[in-house]
Amino acid sequence: MQSQAIGGSMQQRNFEMIETNGVTLRVVVEGNGPLIILLHGWPQSWYLWRHQIDPLVAAGYCVAVPDQRGYGGSSSPHEVSEYTILKLTADVDGIRKALGFDTFKLIGHDWGCIVAWNTALLYESTCTAVMGLSVPFWRVGNATINPKGFDDKFWYIRHFQNEHADDELNADVERSLRILSHGLGADSPPGTWMEQLSYPSSKGLLDVLPEPEVLPPWISSEDFEYHVDQFKINGFRGPTNWYRNLHNLNSMTPQLEGKRFSQPAAFVAGTDDDVLLYDINWRDWFVEGFEDLRFLELVDGAAHWLQVEKPHETTALILRFLEEVS
């Protein structure tokens, strides 16, 4: 176990390097009690959950927050095939095994949501509750990669299928993260992220998003510096490889077609999250996938990064869910 001072607050965090599933994962592990695993998404690290860790520990949980494979201090294999949904979900259950727990509750955000939803379905006997933030569950199909009617327009998921798409982001990591944070953040007007569909497909991702002059109000310069440093370790290759496996997600998990979640579940998103614009009728089909959906809440004034944009409200909803399912 390593103890390390983090960010502007110089707070100490305890990291464990967990060997599982052919990789080494750097995982914040703190507290005692039932196991809660928190999964970040793209382009983030464990640090996205910095406001939630202490309240969950204080509530009596053992909290494990990994840098998922490809990110931060964890292994970052080069090969695209190392980032399939089967490997990503096995990593999560591997954390449970390494920490010596029989069961765990799981909360994911963004791409971490996709991993969390699929982990809950694939590891039904060990994952006893699941909560998603920002990305509803759906069976990813070709329409996700190639939106109908936009064949000649820029779409980041299709763009990421290009083997060298991450080179643009790696050229200036600080600038890339500044633009990406703003593009989906509450400091940008709703719809900013979706404006990329008005640009030709020949553009790069950083060409189709506005570049902010200042950092968003929900991240300090010290916190942003730490965020950038985590991406400078391995760059964007591993994280972008997650997108390069979307085309085979369904074919690798045919047993999940039509399967409903048996565990207690909940979903939370920001009212201004552009991800919810991918399908404006998402509520209609989303709720049908659960046998025990405890609640669906939208956090007013939050966009995609609700853990840091509205930390108190988000943490309260997480604690509410955990109390209900304990």
Global pTM value: 0.96
| Pairwise CA distance, residues 118 & 247, whole Å | 15
Q: Compute the distance between CA of residue 19 and CA of residue 263 in angstroms, rounded to an integer.
A: 28
Please tell me the predicted confidence (pLDDT) of residue 279: 85
Q: Cα dihedral angle (290, 85, 101, 12), rounded to 10 degrees?
A: -110
Instruction: CATH number of the domain at 127, please.
Output: 3.40.50.1820
Residue among 160, 141, 188, 153 at smallest CA distance from 309: 188
* Counted domains in the chain: 1
Lookup result for tokens 């005692």? 32
- 178 lies in which domain range? 2-325
Q: Which residues are catalytic?
A: 110, 304
- Looking only at the bridges linking them, the beta strands covering 35-39 and 11-20 are unpaired
Q: What local confidence, expressed as pLDDT, does residue 115 receive? A: 98
**pLDDT score at 140:** 77
> CB atoms < 10 A from the CB of 41, how many?
24
The one-digit pLDDT tens for each residue of the chain (326 residues) are 555 556 544 478 999 999 999 999 999 999 999 999 999 999 999 999 999 999 999 999 999 999 999 999 999 999 999 999 999 999 999 999 999 999 999 999 999 999 999 999 999 999 999 999 999 998 877 778 888 888 899 999 999 999 999 999 999 999 999 999 999 999 999 999 999 999 999 999 999 999 999 999 999 999 999 999 999 999 999 999 999 999 999 999 999 999 999 999 999 999 999 999 888 889 889 999 999 999 999 999 999 999 999 999 999 999 999 999 98
Alpha-carbon span 13 to 10, nearest angstrom: 9
In the chain, the N- to C-terminal Cα span, in Å, equals: 28
